[in-house]
């Protein structure tokens, strides 16, 4: 090689080496990108989960970040639309190169994106898992109990603690959720040896009048009803029962109705509305279990809801694992750490959290029973400990 060419080649090699070193430095000192896909607009929104996760990460950044690096949190909106959910995941995972997804909350995003997450070898600590794919994917492990275990728990409380007979179910089915709700009911039957007296899986979301469904349930001889409603639907169902003079029915509902606004809207709760709260009840404002969460949410003007509890816990779990990583924090190292993590206990939940190597993740199986009585407009605790689904 001629001297001039040798000099050019040597200079190019030095430049490449320098560029390589610069890239390595930016990888270990630049921001850690963490993302989430959420229902921030559309028919049903859950903004509190990602807001809570951001508050946790902001607090961590103010204290020095993770091993000296700041967390850059990107919460994207799926608008309740499949195409938007897919686009949001590809933006934060593909373009922004997030190391993990943390605090997501959506009705559809797990179903839309779970295969993509597998392809991209990225894990998601869902703040609030809703659709079945949130609990059946190897790459998604929600922080919450989920509506299916929640239904098993509410049925267990009704039959085994309240000693209720003639329990019926009115199910609002969206997408492919019926098999999962049926499995939850079957799990209750397997534990107790009991069967539902009546099941109607045709109850609509956002119905304008639930009278016909209520009348059929009453005529079937139901003494208690389990439903999986959103708040407006449940309010309509309780009002329809009250209009029929059906004031001795017990309602066995899910965490989806657990809010202060719901309590304020209910005047006649029949024989009571019972819910197994997925996290330690946030309406117990003096509880030491919720103090850190309560203080952080209040400081950041984030609503005190189960959704913000889920987002808060998802972010705390991620931080606990990320801070234990030796070396660079990348998608690969985060995935490895979550797969190999030890269970994390927290007083806000009744089941330790672990992502682990499993092909499915539905391990949170505890709820705290609470009650809303007629005329009180307030939730009250009706247990001294967690209600748990017995291990098989």
Taking residues 316-330, report their average pLDDT.
Answer: 97
> Does pLDDT of 127 surpass 60?
yes
Burial of residue 4, with CB atoms counted within 10 A of its CB: 0-12 exposed, 13-18 middle, 19 or more buried: exposed
Taking residues 210-214, report their average pLDDT.
Answer: 98
> Does pLDDT of 255 surpass 90?
yes
Per-residue model confidence (pLDDT) at position 16: 32
Decide which of 249 and 175 is more confident. 249
Q: State the angle between helix axes of 291-299 and 47-62 in degrees (0 to 180), rounded to the nearest 10.
A: 90
Per-residue tokens: 3: 């001297």
Taking residues 307-324, report their average pLDDT.
Answer: 97
Decide which of 300 and 285 is more confident. 300
> Does pLDDT of 355 surpass 80?
yes
Average the pLDDT over each of 3-12, 48-57, 125-134, 136-145 and give the range with the smallest value.
3-12
Average the pLDDT over each of 25-39, 96-110, 241-255, 376-390 and give the range with the smallest value.
25-39
Specify which residues 52 forms β-bridges with.
none
Give the strands of the sheet with 32-38, arranged side by side. Answer: 71-77, 32-38, 100-102, 124-125
Per-residue model confidence (pLDDT) at position 18: 32
> Does pLDDT of 25 surpass 60?
no
Per-residue model confidence (pLDDT) at position 62: 98
How many CB atoms neighbour CB 223 within 10 A?
16
Spatial neighbors of 228 by CB under 8 A, at least 6 apart, are 147, 151, 171, 172, 181, 253, 254, 256
At residue 27 the predicted structure's pLDDT band, cuts being 50, 70 and 90, is low
Give pLDDT tens digits for 179-203. Answer: 999 999 999 999 999 999 999 999 9
Per-residue model confidence (pLDDT) at position 77: 97
Taking residues 209-235, report their average pLDDT.
Answer: 96
Per-residue model confidence (pLDDT) at position 46: 86
Give pLDDT tens digits for 129-180. Answer: 999 999 999 999 999 999 999 999 999 999 999 999 999 999 999 888 999 9
CA 119, CA 109: separation in Å to the nearest integer?
A: 16
Per-residue model confidence (pLDDT) at position 43: 78
> Does pLDDT of 223 surpass 70?
yes
Taking residues 114-140, report their average pLDDT.
Answer: 97
Question: Which of 377, 342, 375, 373 is closest to 356 using CA atoms?
Answer: 342
CA 169, CA 194: separation in Å to the nearest integer?
A: 13
Round the average pLDDT of the chain to a whole number and report it. 92
Helix (H, G, I), strand (E, B) or coil at 177: coil
Q: What whole-number percentage of the chain has pLDDT above 70?
A: 93
Element (H, E) at 183: helix 178-192
At residue 286 the predicted structure's pLDDT band, cuts being 50, 70 and 90, is confident
Strand locations in 150-279, DSSP E? 167-172, 198-203, 224-227, 250-252, 273-277
Taking residues 341-355, report their average pLDDT.
Answer: 97
Question: Which of 153, 40, 146 is closest to 360 using CA atoms?
Answer: 146
Q: What whole-number percentage of the chain has pLDDT above 90?
A: 88
Per-residue model confidence (pLDDT) at position 378: 97
At residue 221 the predicted structure's pLDDT band, cuts being 50, 70 and 90, is very high
Alpha-carbon distances of 78 from 27, 41, 104, rounded to whole Å: 29, 8, 10
Per-residue model confidence (pLDDT) at position 256: 92
Alpha-carbon distances of 206 from 119, 209, 229, 272, 362, rounded to whole Å: 36, 9, 9, 23, 28
The full set of domains in the chain, from first to last, is 32-146+286-361 (3.40.50.2300), 147-277+368-388 (3.40.50.2300)
CA 2, CA 116: separation in Å to the nearest integer?
A: 51
> Does pLDDT of 318 surpass 80?
yes
| R_g of the chain, CA atoms, integer Å | 24
Q: What is the pTM of this model?
A: 0.90
Q: State the angle between helix axes of 47-62 and 306-322 in degrees (0 to 180), rounded to the nearest 10.
A: 40
């Amino acid at each position: 090689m001629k001297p001039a060419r040798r000099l050019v080649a040597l200079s190019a090699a030095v430049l490449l080496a320098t560029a390589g070193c610069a890239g390595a430095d930016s990888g270990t000192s630049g921001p850690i990108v963490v993302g989430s896909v959420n229902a921030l607009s559309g028919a049903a929104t859950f903004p509190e989960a990602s807001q809570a996760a951001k508050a946790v990460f902001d607090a961590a950044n103010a204290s020095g970040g993770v091993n000296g690096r700041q967390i850059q949190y990107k919460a994207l909106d799926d608008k309740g639309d499949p195409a938007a959910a897919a686009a949001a995941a590809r933006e934060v995972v593909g373009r922004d190169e997030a190391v993990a997804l943390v605090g997501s909350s959506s009705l559809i995003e797990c179903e839309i994106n779970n295969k993509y997450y597998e392809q991209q070898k990225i894990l998601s600590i869902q703040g609030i898992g809703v659709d079945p794919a949130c609990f059946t994917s190897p790459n998604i492990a929600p922080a919450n109990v989920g509506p299916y275990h929640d239904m098993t728990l509410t049925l267990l409380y009704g039959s085994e603690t309240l000693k209720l007979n003639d329990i019926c179910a009115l199910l609002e089915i969206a997408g492919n959720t019926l098999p999962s709700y049926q499995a939850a009911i079957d799990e209750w039957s397997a534990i107790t040896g009991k069967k539902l007296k009546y099941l109607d899986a045709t109850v609509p979301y956002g119905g304008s009048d639930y009278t016909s469904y209520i009348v059929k349930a009453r005529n079937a001889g139901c003494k208690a009803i389990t439903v999986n409603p959103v708040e407006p639907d449940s309010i309509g169902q309780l009002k329809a029962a009250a209009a029929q003079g059906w004031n001795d029915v017990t309602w066995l509902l899910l965490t989806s109705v657990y809010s202060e606004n719901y309590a304020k809207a209910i005047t006649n709760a029949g024989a009571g509305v019972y819910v197994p709260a997925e996290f330690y009840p946030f309406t117990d404002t003096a509880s030491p279990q919720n103090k850190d969460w309560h203080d952080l949410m209040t400081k950041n003007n984030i609503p005190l809801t189960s959704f913000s509890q889920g987002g808060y816990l998802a972010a705390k779990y991620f931080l606990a694992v990320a801070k234990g990583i030796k070396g660079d924090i990348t998608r690969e190292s985060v995935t490895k750490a979550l797969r190999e993590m030890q269970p994390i206990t927290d007083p806000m939940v009744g089941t330790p959290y672990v992502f682990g190597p499993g092909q499915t993740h539905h391990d949170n199986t505890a709820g705290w029973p609470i009650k809303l009585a007629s005329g009180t407009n307030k939730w009250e605790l009706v247990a001294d400990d967690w209600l748990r689904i017995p291990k098989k």
